Every structure is written in C-alpha cells, then in structure tokens.
A and B are shown apart, each in its own frame.
Chain A
Amino acid sequence: MMAILGVWVAVGLTLFMFSFLYKDNPFYKVGENLYVGITIGYSLVKLIFETWIPNVWRVVHPEAGVWFENHEWWLILPPLFLGSLILTRFVPKYAWLSRWTFAFVVGYGSGLAIPAVQKQAEATAHPLVTHIESFDSADKAATEAEKKATDLAASKGAGSDEAIKARIDADEYRERANAAKARKDAVSAAGARADKARAAANDARKQADEMAKKGPADSEEVHAAQKKATLAERAAIGAEMATWTAYSKSEYSVLTAWGDFTTIVLFIGVFSVLFYFFFSIEHKGPVKVFSRLGIIFLMIYFGASYGYTVMGRLSLLYGRLVILRDACYPSVGFATPVLLVAMITVLVVLHFQNKDKEENA
C-alpha cells in the first residue's frame, strides 16, 4: 500500500515539477514550496542526529560518543563558541559578534585554498618535437660510454669519482639503448599479431560466406558466423592500428608528426588563452592577435563541452520518462495517465478562468 502510494506521490510530484515547462502555475508552486520545506526539515533532522548528538551532546553526556573517543572534550568549545556567535544575529544589537565567526570561516577557507590551487600549477612543459632515438645510434653511444667507463676505471681506479660518474653515464646510455630495442621489438611483435588477426578474420569471413552459399542464407547460424567474421575483422583492424602506433613510437612517422602537431597546438592554446586574460595590457597590436587566438580556443572549448554534455542530460530526461512510463500500468493504478489528465484539466480550466478575469478587467 505504502509502495503504491509512493509511486503516485513520486509521479505526481515529477509532473508538478515538469509543469513549470509550460508556465508558472499552482501545481509548480505547491511542488516548489513542498520541496523547500521538506529539504530544510530533512537537513535539520539530519543535523540534529548526525552532527549535534555525536559531536556535541555525546561529549557532554559521554555514553558512546564518537568525538569523545577521538578528541579531548575541550575541543568542542571553540566550535560551540563560534556557533553561538552566529546566533547573535537574532539580536540586532550584538549581531556584529557574528563577524568573528565569518572571519574564522573565511580565513580558514583562504588558508586552505592557497596550497590546494598550487597543485594545478604543474607545468605544461613538454618537448614540442619528439626525438626518437634509433636502436643503432643508441647502441653505439652506449658502447662508447661503456668503453670510456672501463678505461677510466683502469686508469684512475674503480672507486674514483670520475670512474663512478662515467659508469653511471654508461648505465644511462645503455638504458636508452635497451628502450630503443624494446620499441623496435614491439613493432615486429605487433606486426606478427596483426598478421595473425588478419588471417583469422579472413578465415572467419570465408567460413561465413561458404555457410551462406550452402545453407539457407537467412538462418541463425549464418547470422552468427557473419557476426563473428565482422568482429574478427574489427579485431584485425585494431591490431593493424596497434602496429602503426608501435611503429610511430620507434621511428618518426606521420603519426609522430601528428602527435607533435597536437603538442604544439596545446602549447599555443595554453599560451594564447593565458594571454587573453592579462588585465594590465590593452588588446591591440600583436597582443590582439594572441588574445584573439585565445578566444578561438575558448570558443572551441565551450562548443565542444556543450555538445559533449548533451548526451548525459538527455539520458537523464529519458530516465525520468521511463519512470513515468513504468507508472502507466494497471499494477500501480495507471498513475501517470490519471494524474496527467487531471492536471491538464485543471490547467485548462485555470487558463479560461484567468482569461475571463482579464477580459472583465
């Protein structure tokens, strides 16, 4: 019973809020005021039971206080004092005392904000052009450095500072050479995987075609085989793309160039948008060029973000509509249609009444 009542109330209130889309009307006003009243009542109850009792009351009446276990009892005095100062606002003569609390809150927020925003300032410094070391040159450099390290160790002793330095350098070069080798190997490995995937896809497609030729072309098995072939083909394309990616990591290619282009655009974007925000220089001359470039970046960002959000917002709306649909069935007494018709009737009557009033006036 409570559940069905719940559905009716939920559907009714949803429709009340939606009626705002038509225009401001008594249903919406009821919904709005209910909403405000309930939320304040709800937060008051929650505050009493989730903040006041555990944090304050229990400390004074130590039964199973959460605070009492973790803190010293006198630690509730500062917030109690500051809180009471807020309440002086009910007494106009002493209302200025509440400023002490505001000062604490604002100061607290400011002190906390400074380091928090610092984290954002990690630099955008990336090389604008990718330099990819080939294995051969890296290997050569590493071998040379190793030779130098051995020579130094022989001439000046293995424990000497120079020898240690040379050895560390050599290790670094060797590491780079190893990385270059790994990149090179990754290309051939990815290539092999791609070949295998392509072969599998071809097989699957062939099988599907044969099946379609043999049996009835419309049967479920054929469909399944075709689907399998499509998926395999997709996987093959994915594997081929992966080969490309691996290749462009091991040698400078179109893809690497594209990556560099992207980095450069990113750099110019950050630079020009920051430029746009300068307060103390007028936007003219070369500054104007940069700040206009900044505006272009900003506009693309605004448009793209807006477009990207449309999906999420429509999903929400769709979800609400599904809930309204689910309340259309007899099991809940046709809540949606009944309430909808009733509301429309009232709104139509109100519309004509107001019209009469306007005409009479």
Chain B
Amino acid sequence: MEAFSKFVLSLDRRWIFLVLLLVLFIPIACPLNLPGLKPSPGVTRMYDFVENMPEGSTILISFDFDPASKPELAPMGEAMLRHAFRKKLKVVAMGLWVTGVSLEKETVERIAKEANVTYGDDYVNLGWKAGSVAVITGMGEDIHNTFPTDAKGNPVGSLKIMQRVHRLKDFDLVVSLAAGTPGIDTWIAYGSDKYKFKMGGGTTAVNAPAMSPYLQANQLVGLIGAMRGAAEYEFLLDKPGDAIRGMDAISLGHYLIVGLILMGNIAYFFTRSRKGVAA
C-alpha cells in the first residue's frame, strides 16, 4: 500500500495526459455505444416534431457556426439531415457564418450522397450570403430575391424545391444550428417573431443556458444542447454517429478524472494516517 501511495502521489502528470489521450481515442477507433443516454425534453420535442412532419414538407437548416464548434454542432446537422431524408422531407441548407461555408457544403453533400437523394428535387444548398439580419429579413419577404442563385450558381427558380418556397413562412420548419450570434436569437428576433414560422434550434454547451428560455416560451419547437443533445438525437434516430462516439469519449474522460481523484485521495489518506501514527 505504501508503494502504491508513493507511486500515485509522485505520479508524473504526463502519464495522466497519455491515459486521457488513449481514453478519448478508443471511441474514435472503435465505437462503444455506452448505455445510459436519456433524451432530454428539448431534444425529444425536436425529434417528435420532425418525426410527425408529413412526407414532402420543407425544412430549412441554417448552419450558423464555424469549424471551432464543429465537434458539437456538425453532428446535429448530420443527424437532422439524415432524419429529414429518411422522412422524405425536402431540405434547404444555408449558413450565416462565412467561416462555416465549406463545412456546411461538405456535410450536406456527404449526407445527401449517403441517403441517395437528388439535388434540386430533394435538397438544395443556398450557401452563404453577407448581412445576417438583412439576409433573414430579406428571406422573410422573398427568398428568390435574397438568393438569386444557389451555392453552385444555379438560378434558384430552376430548382424544384425552390419553386414551392418563396418566403420563410412557406417552410414547415426552420432550424438554426448556431454557435453564437448571428444565430438562434437572431432568427427568432428578426425571423419567426415577425414572419411567423416554426423554429427549432441547436447550440453549444456554452450557449445552451441562454437559449433555453426560448424553448420554455415555445418560441422554439425543440432545442438540441451541445454534444450530449446531438448524441441524444442520434440515439432517438437509432443511427450512432460522431456525437455518440464523442459522448462516449467524453463520458470515459469524466470517469477517468473521477477515478484519478478517488485514487489520489486513497493514496493521500494512507500516507496521512501513517504519518499520524509516526507522530
């Protein structure tokens, strides 16, 4: 026991780094699907809303984040796209953050390819346009005016989905996956409050507490909070992805830290009691 205490108390912190690195890497290498995920009300409400949308409804997903928030928000986008394509909904994607344009494009194309849907008929990518608030209010009046062409340069009027939607009100659901401002609050203040459409949201751990009042006030049909929320959505969707893996990794990280603290205290306890006897 003495040897153990000595070892633990003089443990070089670099060993902790190495173990933490391995623990976080395990789920990346091979998925674990740790049990215990319990969907929160916000995520359940969001999932149920999409689940109950009739086939052929249109949904707008706005990717309002940059690569820094990718681990938390990109999985939400993937899960929602998968869900929408599975329910045969028509998806329009866009983004308000210029730094997130390429990420948005890559995500949408990858999931569309996976779901085997066709561009223009099943999904459209409008891309990014400068102005945030002006973009939202412009889309509230006339989307074709705000986005004359899509991200690929096609005239928007030539796309089948876009012939059905002309203003934000025409969408059955608008979702903003946002890492800050412009984001959910911008969409609510300048969009849904004024033009009256259904809004859903996804956000990072840091921003989630600030957004939850919108959920309580029913200004959002649902709210996905942080990587945990994304994992819960994937769980409801029955399609484990990056978020569930991430949640596994982060859970393991938490267990490791708690374990380290306990181990340190056991070691500390033994050295202390020994000293007590000696004194």
Binding site for B on A (CB under 8 A): 21-22, 227, 231, 234-235, 238, 310-312, 314-319, 321-322, 325
Binding site for A on B (CB under 8 A): 14, 17, 21, 24-25, 28, 39, 41, 44, 48, 70-72, 205-206, 226-228, 238, 242, 246, 249-250, 253-254, 257
A220: nearest chain-B partner, CB-CB: B238
Q: Distance in Å from the Cβ of B46 to the closest Cβ of chain A?
A: 13
Take A21-B14, A315-B250, A317-B24 as given contacts and tell me if A310 and B44 are in contact as well, using a CB distance cutoff of 8 Å.
Answer: no
Q: How far is the CA of A22 from the CA of B72 in the complex (A)?
A: 28
**Does B254 lie within 8 Å of A315, measured CB to CB?**
no
B71: nearest chain-A partner, CB-CB: A319
**Does B17 lie within 8 Å of A318, measured CB to CB?**
no
**Does A315 lie within 8 Å of B28, measured CB to CB?**
no
Q: Distance in Å from the Cβ of B80 to the closest Cβ of chain A?
A: 18
**Does B44 lie within 8 Å of A318, measured CB to CB?**
no
Interchain Cβ contacts under 8 Å between A and B, 7 examples: A21-B17, A22-B14, A310-B257, A317-B24, A318-B227, A318-B246, A322-B242
The number of inter-chain residue pairs (CB within 8 angstroms) is: 57
B228: nearest chain-A partner, CB-CB: A311
Say what secondary structure dominates the interface of chain B: helix
Contact of B250 among A238, A318, A322, A325 (CB under 8 A): A318
**Does B71 lie within 8 Å of A318, measured CB to CB?**
yes
Q: Distance in Å from the Cβ of B3 to the closest Cβ of chain A?
A: 26
Take A21-B14, A238-B41, A322-B242 as given contacts and tell me if A315 and B226 are in contact as well, using a CB distance cutoff of 8 Å.
Answer: yes
Residues of B within 8 A of A311 (CB): 205, 226, 228, 250, 254
Residues of A within 8 A of B246 (CB): 315, 318, 322
Q: How far is the CA of A311 from the CA of B28 in the complex (A)?
A: 17
Q: Distance in Å from the Cβ of B238 to the closest Cβ of chain A?
A: 8
**Does B44 lie within 8 Å of A231, measured CB to CB?**
yes
**Does B205 lie within 8 Å of A315, measured CB to CB?**
yes
Lowest 8 CB-CB distances: which A-B pairs, in order?
Answer: A319-B71, A314-B253, A314-B250, A312-B205, A21-B17, A318-B249, A318-B246, A315-B227
**Does A321 lie within 8 Å of B14, measured CB to CB?**
no
A22: nearest chain-B partner, CB-CB: B14
Say what secondary structure dominates the interface of chain A: helix
Q: How far is the CA of A360 from the CA of B41 in the complex (A)?
A: 67
**Does B14 lie within 8 Å of A314, measured CB to CB?**
no
Q: How far is the CA of A282 from the CA of B17 in the complex (A)?
A: 44
Q: How far is the CA of A227 from the CA of B254 in the complex (A)?
A: 28
Residues of A within 8 A of B250 (CB): 311, 314-315, 318
Q: How far is the CA of A316 from the CA of B20 in the complex (A)?
A: 13
Q: Distance in Å from the Cβ of A282 to the closest Cβ of chain B?
A: 31
Q: Distance in Å from the Cβ of A73 to the closest Cβ of chain B?
A: 29
A-B contact sample (15 more), CB < 8 A, given A227-B238, A321-B25? A234-B44, A235-B44, A238-B41, A311-B254, A312-B206, A312-B226, A314-B253, A315-B205, A315-B250, A318-B71, A318-B250, A319-B71, A321-B28, A322-B28, A322-B246
Residues of A within 8 A of B249 (CB): 314, 318, 321
Q: How far is the CA of A93 from the CA of B231 in the complex (A)?
A: 64
Q: How far is the CA of A30 from the CA of B27 in the complex (A)?
A: 32
Q: How far is the CA of A312 from the CA of B68 in the complex (A)?
A: 12
Q: Distance in Å from the Cβ of B176 to the closest Cβ of chain A?
A: 20
**Does B205 lie within 8 Å of A325, measured CB to CB?**
no
Q: How far is the CA of A211 from the CA of B39 in the complex (A)?
A: 25
Q: How far is the CA of A318 from the CA of B21 in the complex (A)?
A: 9
**Does B17 lie within 8 Å of A314, measured CB to CB?**
no
Contact of A321 among B17, B24, B41, B226 (CB under 8 A): B24
Residues of B within 8 A of A234 (CB): 39, 44
Take A21-B14, A22-B14, A319-B71 as given contacts and tell me if A314 and B205 are in contact as well, using a CB distance cutoff of 8 Å.
Answer: no
Take A238-B41, A321-B24, A322-B71 as given contacts and tell me if A314 and B226 are in contact as well, using a CB distance cutoff of 8 Å.
Answer: no
Q: How far is the CA of A108 from the CA of B206 in the complex (A)?
A: 31
Residues of A within 8 A of B14 (CB): 21-22
Q: How far is the CA of A227 from the CA of B118 in the complex (A)?
A: 31
Residues of B within 8 A of A310 (CB): 253-254, 257
Q: How far is the CA of A231 from the CA of B28 in the complex (A)?
A: 29
**Does B72 lie within 8 Å of A315, measured CB to CB?**
yes
